[in-house]
Amino acid sequence: MVQGASGAMLTPFAEVVGHPVAHSLSPALHRAWYGELGLEYEYGYTDVPPGKLGQYLSARPASQIGVSVTMPHKLAA
């Protein structure tokens, strides 16, 4: 758990961002690894349109512990 700005304890999560990204196997792989390690983390995906990566990253919540970046944003990162 991580502490949010309000002091509430939040479930840590990470995700992969790209466009399109719904087909990514990353969420299933990471969830399996977290489970094997006994970690209560979440991993998902968010479709972020081209040109919006900076805006998306600046609005991430405190409970987000990481982001994997894939196409087309790899080119910009």
Q: Domains in the chain and their CATH numbers?
A: 2-76 (3.40.50.10860)
Residue by residue, pLDDT tens for the chain (77 residues) are 666 666 677 789 999 999 999 999 999 999 999 999 999 999 999 999 999 999 999 998 878 889 999 999 888 76
Q: Three-state SS for 53?
A: helix
Contacts of 43 (CB under 8 A, 6+ apart): 13, 14, 15, 16, 26, 27, 30, 31, 34
pTM of the model: 0.81
> Which sequence positions are flagged as catalytic?
74
Residues 72, 59, 66, CA angle at the centre, nearest 5°? Answer: 65
